[in-house]
Amino acid sequence: PAVEYGLEAPFSIEYHDAITSTNDRARELATDGASDVGVLADEQTGSRGRLKREWTAPSGGVWLSTVLRPEVAPARAPLYTLAAAVATARAAREAGVDARIKWPNDVVVPVDDEGGYRKLAGILTEMEGETDRIAWLVVGIGVNANVDADALPPEATSIRAEAGDVDRRVFVQRLLEEFDRLRTDLEGVVPAWRELALTLGQRVRVERASDELVGEAVDVTDSGALVVETDDGRETVSAGDCEHLRPR
């Protein structure tokens, strides 16, 4: 059963103690015409990551999906994913975690100077629309908040492990305020993202379904795609095409 979460947030929040996937519930609400709502759960039993991967979502995390109906072209949808990553990283930094962003959508904590990291949060954006117009966007944000690291996959970390528990209500409020600011200033998203980026300047290997690229990650385009300088010249990789991005 859903209850009101009682936040001052710019999104009205439907809260569940446990749910299969907040993205699935948000998609239902989106299909029914909702906008500017969020679905939040303490625990998810069937949550999803990018590229049909599983996502571990034990009790104590921040499992949140927002429904937006922005009047922009679908090509701009990746900016909302970057905005969610920026908002999440900023909220985590306020909680005392050295959160950075690994392109396109991972909020990570660096573990060395060679690009090594542990994952703190991930974003899964789903969209419906025509070629010229987005009907709705569901931006799903999963943050390993008040969770023991040993309840998570080995390459993951949590706010608890890095800095101690947060007040999740305050954390969600800050995250959503920041997300709301960024979505109304899409031009500011990539510059804000650059400031937190772990990826830029790194040598990376980008694995796509059909091939892989090795080179230096030199920039992010205005629409959120990564520019990689390879031996054969510059290539632009869209987030949707990237299966893995690894430091080299």
Q: Residue 57, interface with ligand BTN (CB under 6 A)?
A: yes
The answer to whether 44 and 21 have CB atoms below 8 angstroms apart is: yes
- Give Dmax (Cα) for the chain: 55
**Residue in this structure with the two tokens 């001052």, named with its chain if needed:** 8
Under rule CB under 6 A, how many of the chain's residues touch ligand BTN?
Answer: 21
Q: Residue 240, interface with ligand BTN (CB under 6 A)?
A: no
Angle between helices 77-94 and 189-196 (to 10 degrees): 50
What are phi and psi for residue 220, nearest 5 degrees? -125, 135
Q: Return the number of other C-beta atoms located less than 10 Å from residue 95's C-beta.
A: 20
Q: Residue 63, interface with ligand BTN (CB under 6 A)?
A: yes
Q: Residue 146, interface with ligand BTN (CB under 6 A)?
A: no
Alpha-carbon distance values, 22 to 92, 127, 149, 167 (Å): 20, 15, 22, 20
Q: Residue 100, interface with ligand BTN (CB under 6 A)?
A: no
Structure tokens at 242: 């990237």
Q: Which is nearer to ligand BTN, 22 or 202 (CB)?
A: 22
Residues 110-129 interacting with ligand BTN (rule: CB under 6 A): 122-124
Q: Residue 156, interface with ligand BTN (CB under 6 A)?
A: no
Smallest separation (angstroms) from ligand BTN to the CB of 178 = 17
Q: Residue 193, interface with ligand BTN (CB under 6 A)?
A: no
Q: Residue 55, interface with ligand BTN (CB under 6 A)?
A: yes
- Kindly list the residues in this chain that would bind ligand BTN in the complex (CB under 6 A): 21-23, 44, 47-50, 53, 55, 57, 63-65, 106, 122-124, 140-142
